[in-house]
Amino acid sequence: MFYVYLLQSLADPAQRYTGFSTDLKERLKAHNAGRSTHTAKYRPWELAAYFAFKTEPRARAFEHYLKSGSGKAFANKRLW
């Protein structure tokens, strides 16, 4: 499976992150261990939502959408 996930910082709840992974548990551990330069300074993180896809192209397309202007508006209204 391919996952698109939304994280929210526990240290600064205004900080949010959208990502992609094939191993969601390990990726969350990596974020909380500081192994991602984009998320290290806002640790710890909690999983706010995730979406599973059968194919990588669909997951990547959804991640790309959530990072776009209209996708951020959708996520703010429906997912956070």
- Residue 58: partners with Cβ closer than 8 Å, 6 or more residues away: 2
CA dihedral 28→16→40→52, nearest 10 degrees, is 20
Number of domains present in the structure of the chain = 1
Domain range holding 49? Answer: 2-78
Alpha carbon distance 18, 8 (integer Å): 9
Question: Average pLDDT over the chain, rounded to whole?
Answer: 97
pTM of the model: 0.94
Length of the chain: 80
What pLDDT is recorded for position 63?
A: 98
From residue 65, alpha-carbon distances to 47, 48, 69, 75 in Å are 19, 17, 8, 10
The model's confidence at residue 80, banded by pLDDT at 50, 70 and 90, is: confident
Q: Which of 7-11, 49-53, 76-80 has the lowest mean pLDDT?
A: 76-80
The model's confidence at residue 74, banded by pLDDT at 50, 70 and 90, is: very high
Q: Residue 24's domain is classified under what CATH number? A: 3.40.1440.10
